[in-house]
Structure 1
Amino acid sequence: MPFAAIRGGTALSDETELEAYLASLLRLENVGLLLGAGASVAAGGHTMIALWTDFIGTSPEEAAWMVEYGFIAENATSLPRPTTPNFEHLIDSIEIALSDWTRQMGMFGDNPIEYEPAEQELENKLSRLKSVKAALFRSVVNAALLRREWWLSPSGVESHDEGLASQRTILQKLVSARQPGQSSPWVFTTNYDLAIEWAAESIDLQVSNGFLGTHTRRFSPQSFDLGFRNTQARGEARFGVYNIYLAKLHGSLTWKEESGQVFEVSAHLAHQRIETFMGERDGSGLGLMVMPRAAKYMDTIGYVLGELFRRFAEFMSKPQSCLILCGYGFGDEHINRLIRSALLNPTLQLVIYSSGFNGDPTDVNLPTALRKLLSLKNPRITVVGGGSAFAYIDSLARHLPDPLIYDEDMRKLEKALRDEREVQEREVAQGGRL
């Protein structure tokens, strides 16, 4: 599929025009990314379609049971191309059934003995439903693991590892584009994986993710108001910043809650917890991850996730801000609402990389929330598509401009030197003709 991009109601002619526009956006006061599952595909992550296919392949009995009891349609289990159900609605229906069947189990306590067969049948259904829910959650965790060797390596991901090459390129370009006095870029993500953390560590870039501490890292939101500086610099550093801000809006595989506080653990310890969870038959979750369900909005009002969403909304409300979306499928309505509300900020610029966008803003195959944004024909909204070759994080890495090495004063000096050189060349040429 050829390159396709539209800004407002006007199509962009080619990638060069898009790159020039992105270069201008990176000069704004505030720059941020919103990354979804699609942004981790190149690193081994799964999209929701791949996640569901993996579930069907690894848990066929659980899938068949859900078909039998009406939780999913039969075509949702038809390999190799199953129809992916609405994952949020599926988890919601399972949790409603769990609540209802648990309530019914409580009613059998004082009933006569003739009700024992019905009680046993309900108990079996309840036990099976718990195992189905655990299997679904294991698929979600498995989709976020990326590569096992990254978890086990004591040195993390090496800088030469190509699995996170695009993430490294994007981070380097973003921090290098910051001008003196401008804040560090933000990275907001709905992913539980460690792609951004590992990419930043491999290039010695500091990550401010809301946790403070050396051996015990506790969530301290005031850390988002702090930055890094080079104490060896004389005067203000002319280009670049030294850290990024990272907000994991749905939690992380390395978070845990204990004694009413939230801590961040090392990847090695987190991997041990993950392996234990993956072996459970009736587990219901892991750490502070917000599993994909419509009720996740309620899960985001707690102390940690509520603070991260506040920072997300605050970022989009700041003047002269740009938010680039990549790999986000508009499946989270609570995030969609924040984005739509943020458009009331007249200086907010949105750039959306969508794998399904083919240049037609009315395409019914696009997510409803994206079609609504396109229908606005707002010149502050740019959508980039053209198929998977142009839609995921490798394309964003290619389109972002390379770091500038001259500021305005240096450009003036360069122009003066070039003009002087041209004068000298003309004088030499004229002297040769005399």
Structure 2
Amino acid sequence: MSEAGDQVKQGEFLNILKVRDDPRPLYFNKNDDESIDWKEGSDAAWAQEEGSCTKVLRKRIEPWLTSLFQSEHLSLLAGSGLTHAVHCLAQGKPAAGMNKLPLKTKSVEIDREAEKSAELAGREKGNLEDQLRIANELLRGLDILGDDSAGSLRDELKDGMSEFAKSILESEKGIVSADAEKRDQALNTLVTFLMSFASRTGVRDRLNIFTTNYDRLVEAGAELAGLHLLDRFLGNLMPIFRSSRLDLDMHYNPPGIRGEPRYLEGVARYTKLHGSVDWVQTGRDIRRIGLPLGADEVAPYLNVPGFQGVTENKLMIYPNAAKDQETANYPYVELFRDLASAVCRPNSTLVTYGYSFGDEHINRVIRDMLTIPSTHLVVISRDDNLGRIMKNYDEIGRSSQISLMIGPALADLSILTESFLPKASIDKTTSRMSELLKQRFDAQQGPVNQSSGKAQSDDLGGLI
């Protein structure tokens, strides 16, 4: 592990910042009196400014993020940290984690291979996804051999997937059933977070939102914000996943204006890289079912005509491939292809929030993206307890193309949305106001007159 990772893991310095032209990450703690305690050697020239922690950091961070958010191509990758952050605002505690399935059949063999898989991916221990992948591979082998234990393993996977789906729904329910005031605060913060990214002018490429989460928190926030999400699903009653990815978009015709339609604002492309709790395989199709946010369980919503034999074991949760090997990578291969095509292009900015760099298939795409000199990666995370973020930062080696905002003083969702993320919806208005004030000041100033400089400054202050 890198020196940076060791420091964060030990809790010596909780926050790491690297933006703009900082040659290396800076480490600091935020004191109770809002002062900054910089680590020795982290005293950059700009950090000598007096003032509260948030004020000093905002002047450094907000203009930088505002500039990056206006890149030609902008993408957001949201990890489990986003769900935990919103759940903490609503309930005061993190959401449910990804616990392993309580398997009994071949459990020793499955756990052993899951640990090996996790080690190869750079994780300290196996998680549910490792266990699912190994269990499904083993199940396929047992079916081929005609082993009697295949049936019991299949039943255990079915029960385990049902319990896992309930834990996802429980996290959703914890947010929507919270105290009204806290729930509204949490959801409003989520809306502000999403719109900071999505408020792009029509001449810019659409925001791409990617998430590794199985819950529908981003969809709920987009619905509240009036943000239109474009994904691969087509249809209204039970949308079907389509491999053909046409560049569908949303336009409008301004009243009284002839010509080409204009891009509608508030539109983003949305990809759930690891599937979703409401995606189900039905025959040859993958459909999105009408599962309410925070429902108690999935089973009642599968008891409909046309879904005969469909159980929770058919939920499309990565990498749950309880089907023929020929389709084992479907639809995930399509989704990962969308990620690569969106971020691996010139003048592209990728912002990660709450992503711990624990998925090697995603890390590989990020490394490939940074081989393009005009791309930039912004990592925002509340912590790096496992040291994976700083380890990848050191291994990639392209520090000038990476910005870091790690720690509660920087990545706490409330602080982030209030102080550091750009208010893109008002940037254009602010720019027009600044131009207007400048024009008025120049008009009042007239010929250059050194002696009247103070009065002219006072006039400008009055306008502001």
If the length of structure 2 is used for normalisation, what is the TM-score? 0.66
Identify the residue that residue 203 of structure 2 maps to in structure 1.
Answer: 181
* CA contact 1:187–1:244 (8 Å) conserved in 2: yes
Partner of 1:402: 423
Partner of 1:217: 239
The Cα shift of 1:290 comes to: 1.3
Paired with 2:287 and 2:294, the residues of 1 have a C-alpha distance of 11
Corresponding position of 2:405: 384
Match in the other structure for 1:413? 436
Residue aligning to 1:305 = 332
Distance 2:382 2:292 in 1: 34
- Aligned-residue identity in percent: 23
C-alpha distance in structure 2 between counterparts of 1:298 and 1:394, whole Å: 45
Per-residue Cα deviation, 1:355-374 (whole angstroms, up to 9, x for no partner): 3348xxxxxx312x751333
One-letter identity of the residue aligned with 2:67: S
- TM-aligned CA distance change 1:90 to 1:223, over 3 Å: closer
Answering whether residue 24 of structure 2 is matched by residue 3 of structure 1, we say: no
Q: Which runs of 5+ in 2 are unaligned?
A: 1-12, 27-46, 48-55, 116-123, 304-309, 457-464
Does the CA contact (< 8 Å) of 1:180 and 1:239 recur in 2?
yes
Structure 2 counterpart of 1:260, one-letter code: R
From the superposition, tell whether residues 21 and 206 of structure 1 become closer, same or farther in structure 2 (CA, over 3 Å).
Answer: same
Question: CA contact under 8 A between 1:38 and 1:47: conserved in structure 2?
Answer: no
Per the alignment, in what secondary structure is the counterpart of residue 352 of structure 2? strand
1:189–1:248 contact (8 Å) kept in structure 2: yes
Contact 1:49 1:84 in 2 (8 A): no
Match for 2:135 among 94, 97, 104?
A: 94
Counterpart amino acid of residue 184 in structure 1: R
User: What is the CA RMSD across the aligned residues, in angstroms?
Assistant: 4.6
CA distance 1:103–1:256, change in 2 (3 Å): closer
Aligned to 1:148: 173
SS at 1:319 equivalent:
coil
Q: In the alignment, is residue 336 of structure 1 matched against residue 348 of structure 2?
A: no
Contact 1:36 1:327 in 2 (8 A): yes
Most deviating of 183-192 and 409-418: 409-418
Helix, strand or coil at the partner of 2:377: strand
Cα distance in 1 between the residues matched to 2:97 and 2:435: 53
Superimposed CA distance per residue, residues 1-54 of structure 1 (whole angstroms, 9 cap, x where no aligned partner): 5432125742355632222211110111111100111211134499898332xx
Deviation at 1:317, TM superposition (A): 2.2
2:316 equivalent among 285, 288, 291:
288
> Secondary structure at 2:373's aligned position in 1?
coil
Distance 1:142 1:173, change over 3 A: same
Distance 2:367 2:197 in 1: 25
- Is the contact made by 1:3 and 1:385 (CA closer than 8 Å) also made in structure 2? yes
1:258 has 2:282 as partner? yes
5 Å-filtered alignment, 1:221-236, equals 225-232=247-254
Q: Distance in 1 between matches of 2:407 and 2:435?
A: 39
Distance 1:134 1:383, change over 3 A: farther
Q: Equivalent residue for 1:41?
A: 84
1:166–1:393 Cα contact (<8 Å) kept: yes
Q: Tell whether the 8 Å contact from 1:212 to 1:223 is kept in structure 2 after alignment.
A: no
Supply the distance in 1 between the matched residues of 2:278 and 2:238 (Cα, whole angstroms): 13
1:246 positional shift: 0.6
Q: Is the Cα contact below 8 Å between 1:250 and 1:305 reproduced in 2?
A: yes
For the residues of structure 2 that align with 1:259 and 1:129, how far apart are their CA atoms?
22
Partner letter of residue 215 of structure 1?
L
Amino acid across the alignment from 1:211? F
Q: Shift in Å at residue 286 of structure 1?
A: 3.7
SS in 2 for 1:192: coil
Q: Name the SS for the 1:285 alignment partner.
A: helix
Q: Give the equivalent residue in structure 1 for 2:193.
A: 170
Quote the offset at 1:323 in angstroms. 0.7
Task: For structure 1, list consecutive stretches of 5 or more residues without a partner in the other structure.
Answer: 77-82, 107-122, 359-364
Corresponding residue for residue 374 of structure 2: 347
Cα distance in 1 between the residues matched to 2:430 and 2:256: 17
> What's the offset of the Cα at 1:197?
1.1
Structure 1, residues 294-326: CA drift from partner, whole Å, max 9, x if none?
Answer: xxx997742x43333222111112221111011
Q: 1:233 to 1:128 in 2, by over 3 A?
A: same
Q: Do 2:344 and 2:365's aligned partners in 1 also have CA atoms closer than 8 Å?
A: no
State whether structure 2 residue 49 is matched by structure 1 residue 25: no
Structure 2 counterpart of 1:250, one-letter code: H
The AA in structure 2 aligned to 1:193 is D
Letter in 2 for 1:142: K
Aligned length: 379
CA distance in 1, matches of 2:151, 2:95: 26
Q: Is 1:200 equivalent to 2:232 in the alignment? A: no
Given the two structures, how large is their TM-score scaled by the length of structure 1?
0.70
The alignment partner of 1:148 has SS state of helix
